[in-house]
Chain A
Amino acid sequence: MLLTARTRYPSEKVNKKGMPYEKYAAYRNLIPIELGQRGEGIAPTAVSLLWRDRKEIMALVGSKCKKCGTPQYPAQRVCVACGSQDMEPYSFADKTGKVFSYTEDHLAASMSPPAIYGIIEFDGGGRFWFDVADCEAGELRVEMPVKMAFRRKYADAERGIYGYFWKAIPEVT
């Protein structure tokens, strides 16, 4: 059985291969999966931190130096380029970017191994590492264009908390 995947960047192309049923079933808790020891260490979500850094985490807002103009994520107190402490908010959620580098990690805890993540360089400046979603092993390449999407990052079922964050969606050709 194949399920149609989510909309893909950029032209609402649908993944013709569909989503493997095992992956769907794992994410829906329909089948038990073994996450391994690395998947056991779920720390409690620090709600105070989530509130304090809500723009940074929920809206992907970093900072831009007022003096030299360098965008940076996560938000920095001291500019990474010139050392100035005069910073203003800067949104990365609407920025496109490119894959600077990536890996397919079979050791990392993942609902659907291998975990695919990479360093994303934003057009206009700024760089950070993100999970890569809507992409299968073997599809990613250096310099591949990406956009950002707000997705579920983890499920802390014990405490009933579901964490969301931004993932990179590659334009797989």
Chain B
Amino acid sequence: MIRDKVAIIGMGCTKFGERWDCGYEDLAVEAYNEALKDAGIEKEDIQAAWLGTCFDEGMTGKSALPLSTTLKLPFIPVTRVENFCATGSEALRGATYAVASGACDVALALGVEKLKDTGYGGLPEFGTLLGTKNRLVYPNITAPGAFAMMATRYFDRYNLDPEDGRKTLARVSAKSHHNGSLNSKAHLRREVTIEDVLKAPIIAWPLGLYDCCGVSDGAAAAIVVRAEDAKKYRDDPVYIKALQVAASPGEELLYKWDGTHVETTARAAERAYKEAGIENPREEIDLMEVHDCFSITELVTYEDLRISKRGAASEDAKAGFFDLDGEIPCQSDGGLKCFGHPIGASGLRMIYEIYRQLQGKADKRQIEDPRVGLTHNLGGFPPLSVAAVCMFGIDRG
């Protein structure tokens, strides 16, 4: 159990967006500088670092070098991690376990992704990334297509006709766009109405343009120390309550799965609740940042996290339960919907919002006195995925 053993003492997050004038090095330095300043430490204090990144290799290749050479880290141990969209959360997990074990006292986790140079709308083509066999057997599946299949099945199972189903999903996206309009670090900052969402072109039926998150550049970073040392650095450290990852064994796609939920999320959440000592998540969680790569993902995640009952997420969404002034605000910063999804950075970007909210520093988006926050990442396709569920608190238990 990692609960209350480690605290975050500093975080940084770049503005996300089409950062044409910035390379991945600029993004990494921007997040790193803010985190260092926030923690009140110097480069020499960092004893180990974890880099999370997936696409741009910084001219050095799949290793720690893109980070160590960019920041000129002085020969300290640096590890690169990659686990699809859970990459940023994995970087934090590595750093957290290192300080908890006593192997080092201060560790850095940094996630960065320069996506816009790839030139793609959406994530780069998977075909060449999944290995040589993929193209011989897989359809040309895209991320929206893979998640659209979950929406198709969800609508069918709960007897939503496509128009009703799409309206429910539109509500999810419109809510996040509202929150993003209040956040100067978000990429997409315009309010979008439910009608706008419904009228947008279809990307992968039944998902339209506004059901999909954006494609952006960005970076985020965290500095962690053992909980007992945290108050030496600041008065309001944020304590890590749970860090859980679950990877598909492959049974969902090939064998048994209802097609309307994500098993890895549910498994990681149960372990995270146990680790954090949460019994009734609907009552005990104050805010969440979930992996809204697509509107349908956010909808089923409400159920997978046991916030909503199976099939009841749309009712909760319609009732405003997840709105900024609702009972559990979800995506208070605008989510992937407004930040876009630079893979390596997203997990830490979510944690940045929880960290700022718990410290009462979330500006116009501030929620009243939150004590416990949750982040959720989902990488891969719904039946073949990696999920991370992390929990944070402002109080040390």
Contact = CB atoms under 8 A, between A and B. Distances in A.
A56 B137 CA distance: 9
Interface stretch (A8-16, A21-29, A42-50): A42-50
- Size bin of chain A's contact surface: 35 or more
Interface string B142-162: 101100111011001000000
Mostly helix, strand, loop or mixed at chain B's interface?
A: loop
B142 A49 contact: no
Interface in B62-120: 119-120
Interface in A70-121: 70, 72-74, 76, 80-81, 100-110, 114-115, 117-119
A67 interface: no
A101 B137 CA distance: 18
A106 B212 CA distance: 13
Interface residues of B, number: 40
Interface stretch (B173-181, B251-259, B313-321): B251-259
B364 interface: no
B282 interface: no
Contacts of B163: none
Interface in B239-274: 249-251, 253-256, 259
B165 to A, nearest CB: 12
A142 B149 CA distance: 10
B142 A108 contact: yes
A76 B140 CA distance: 22
Interface of B: 119-122, 125, 127-128, 132-133, 135-142, 144-145, 148-150, 152-153, 156, 201-205, 207, 249-251, 253-256, 259, 383
5 contacts: A100-B259, A108-B142, A117-B141, A117-B145, A119-B253
Interface of A: 37-38, 41-43, 45-46, 49-50, 53, 56-57, 70, 72-74, 76, 80-81, 100-110, 114-115, 117-119, 126-131, 137, 142-143, 153-154, 163, 165
